[in-house]
Amino acid sequence: MKAPLLFSQVLNGLATGMLYALMGIGLSIITGVLNIPNFAHGALFALGAYFLYTVIQLVGNFWLALLLAPLGVGLLGVVIEYGGIRPLYKAGHDYQLLLTFGLSLIITEGIIIVWSPVGMSQLPPPILRGGIDLGITFYPKYRLFVMVAAALLVFGAWLFLEKTRYGAIMRAGIEDKEMVALLGIDIHRLFTAAFALGCVLAGVAGALTAPIRGLNPWMGVDMLGIAFVVVALAGLGNLLGSIVAGLLVGLAQSLVALVWPEASVAVIFAVMAAVLLVRPQGLFGIR
């Protein structure tokens, strides 16, 4: 195996892994705070990509689209939590789970109706087209940008959750929602903020992915499964674990694709099974 090819695949694994970490962090926040698995997370990922495409078609500015697309997904997340999930809190988690599953189907069908079932492509901005000489190999500029941008977003999410007052409230909500409510904090507002933040992270991951993999209405299906793998590997509500798990899954998938491309998806679940057999609570989980 030639060194340039191996090096390129490692970089691909890191870039993909950071996107997986973004998805995993968003899903982990929602699952931890609301105590429900958000089955609409993959559809919201796809919606972020389509929002990016639409804004670019309207205004012709990739950077503005990259800002507005995740915000649009986050705003939709507020509507979903306030108008859909909140009325079902007293009904039980089963109803909320079924709602998110139904929403995933509705969003996917909505994408088909609005944008058609035909896949589309989206070019990176002109400044990020082409490759750059890294010495060992030439590597696409846009993938390097995705790696850096996703890493900065992950770091920003970590700073928010670990170093701010509201981040501390959110982490406390993951551990013990009843205690947070007893302290006089509006728990419903916390639920809305957590769901919106998770949706924003899914939307930005989808927007960043669009110029790499293109767009199709079902692009969120595989990503949803991978996001759940990242959460399971990390341990519920563990931010650092989500980062490590995302990178682990991305690198494993990328390196296996070199020698056995057909197994590049199966290896994701093989890694999860191997880790959970040793640590059922995940790499960094405590429960």
Per cent of the chain over pLDDT 90 is: 62
DSSP 94-152: HHHHHHHHHHHHHHHHHHHHHH-SS-B--PPPGGG-SEEE-SS-EEEHHHHHHHHHHHH
Instruction: Judge whether residue 261 has pLDDT over 90.
Output: no
Distances (CA, A) of 107 to 40, 80, 101, 115, 203: 8, 11, 10, 12, 13
Instruction: Judge whether residue 123 has pLDDT over 70.
Output: yes
Distances (CA, A) of 22 to 80, 132, 257: 20, 25, 22
Instruction: Answer yes or no: are the C-beta atoms of 213 and 257 closer than 8 Å.
Output: no
Average pLDDT over residues 220-248: 89
Query: Which pLDDT score is estimated for 236?
Result: 72
Query: Which pLDDT score is estimated for 195?
Result: 93
Q: Which domains does the chain have, with CATH numbers?
A: 3-278 (1.10.3470)
Instruction: Judge whether residue 157 has pLDDT over 80.
Output: yes
Give the pLDDT band (50/70/90) at residue 141.
very high
- Write down the mean pLDDT value for the chain: 90
**DSSP 3-state of 215:** strand
Q: Is 127 left (phi over 0), alpha (psi -120 to 50) or beta?
A: alpha
Instruction: Answer yes or no: are the C-beta atoms of 64 and 247 closer than 8 Å.
Output: no
Quick: pLDDT tens for 24-77. 999 988 887 888 889 999 999 999 999 999 999 999 999 999 999 999 999 999
Instruction: Judge whether residue 1 has pLDDT over 80.
Output: no
Average pLDDT over residues 272-284: 89
Q: Give the integer Cα–Cα distance in Å for 158 and 150.
A: 12
Average pLDDT over residues 205-225: 95
Query: Which pLDDT score is estimated for 117?
Result: 94
What's the pTM?
0.93
Query: What is the CA 124 to chain-centroid distance, rounded?
Result: 20
Give the pLDDT band (50/70/90) at residue 268.
very high
| Number of CB atoms found within 10 A of residue 36's CB | 19
Query: Which pLDDT score is estimated for 5?
Result: 87
Alpha-helical regions (H) of the chain: 3-34, 41-59, 62-80, 93-115, 141-163, 165-175, 177-182, 187-213, 219-234, 239-259, 266-278
Give the pLDDT band (50/70/90) at residue 287.
low
Query: Which pLDDT score is estimated for 118?
Result: 94
Per cent of the chain over pLDDT 70 is: 98
Query: Which pLDDT score is estimated for 59?
Result: 95
Quick: pLDDT tens for 68-117. 999 999 999 999 999 999 888 888 778 888 999 999 999 999 999 999 99
Instruction: Answer yes or no: are the C-beta atoms of 154 and 22 closer than 8 Å.
Output: yes
Q: 């870039």: which residue's tokens? A: 15
Query: Which pLDDT score is estimated for 31?
Result: 85
Q: Both tokens of residue 145?
A: 């940008």
Query: Which pLDDT score is estimated for 286?
Result: 65
Instruction: Judge whether residue 220 has pLDDT over 60.
Output: yes
